[in-house]
Each structure stands twice: as structure tokens, then as C-alpha cells.
Amino acid sequence: MTTTQLAKRLGVVQSRAVAIEQAEAKGAITLNSLEKAAHAMDCCLVYALVPRKPLDELVCERAECLAKKRMETTRHSMALEAQGVEAADEQEQIKRMIERLLENAGSEIWGEDE
């Protein structure tokens, strides 16, 4: 489709259709303009954020990261008081923390810094 044809379908002048194409090429087009162009070309605009991994995997990874971070804080405090914990016990605690985080997984799981 030429820019003249697109402009006619959009109800704008040809220079505006060129400007829309240029904005799209630069990544500077608005969603509103994209939707109008899609409609003019008898298309449907699909705008989506697609996770790189399955969501349940992302949530599990985040829960594990938080559990390890929290355990590190505890480990540090206990080491200062000469109250070390066996590695196996620590892993079991991390596992339980992950389970609790996953049971209650909501927006708070994303709140703490990594």
C-alpha cells in the first residue's frame, strides 16, 4: 500500500502518512496512531508484553531469590553471635521460605530489591 493510499484510508494528507511511517520506523509512534493505521488497513493492533520465561518459572525464581536474600541476612546476624547453622538445615529453611512465598505470591514478591 502506498502512502497516498494509506493517507486516503486514514483521512489525512499524504505527508501525514509518511510521518506516521517514519515515526513507526524510529520507534516513536504512539499506540493511538498505530491503532488508527491498523484500522485503516483492516488490521487489528495487538500490543503485548510477553515474558521470556513461563510466569510460574519467573515467580519461583523470584521466591528463591528472596528466600536466599532473607537467609543471608539471618546467616550474617547469627554468625556475628557465633550461632552458625548447618548447611542442610539452612537449605531446608530456604525451601520452606520459598514454599511460603509461593503460597502467598502476590505483588509483594516483587517489592524487595534483589
Per-residue 3-state assignment (H helix, E strand, C coil) for the chain:
CCHHHHHHHHCCCHHHHHHHHHHHHHCCCCHHHHHHHHHHCCCCCCCCCCCCCCHHHHHHHHHHHHHHHHHHHHHHHHHHCCCCCCHHHHHHHHHHHHHHHHHCCCHHHHCCCC
User: Is 19 in the same domain as 62?
Assistant: no
Question: What angle (nearest 5°) sits at the alpha carbon of residue 59, between those of residues 56 and 64?
Answer: 125
User: Is 60 in the same domain as 106?
Assistant: yes
* Residue 88 C-alpha from the chain's centroid: 34
User: Is 34 in the same domain as 59?
Assistant: no
Q: Calculate the CA dihedral of residues 29, 32, 35, 40 and round it to 10 degrees.
A: -90
- The confidence band for 109, taking pLDDT boundaries of 50, 70 and 90, is confident
User: Is 35 in the same domain as 65?
Assistant: no
Give residue-wise pLDDT tens across range 41-63.
999 999 999 999 998 899 999 99
User: Is 61 in the same domain as 104?
Assistant: yes
User: Is 26 in the same domain as 69?
Assistant: no
| Count of domains observed in the chain | 2
User: Is 32 in the same domain as 60?
Assistant: no
Q: Domain range for residue 95?
A: 55-110
pTM attached to this predicted model: 0.55
Specify the pLDDT at position 70. Answer: 85
User: Is 18 in the same domain as 59?
Assistant: no
Residue with cell 538445615: 89
Residue 15 lies in a domain: yes
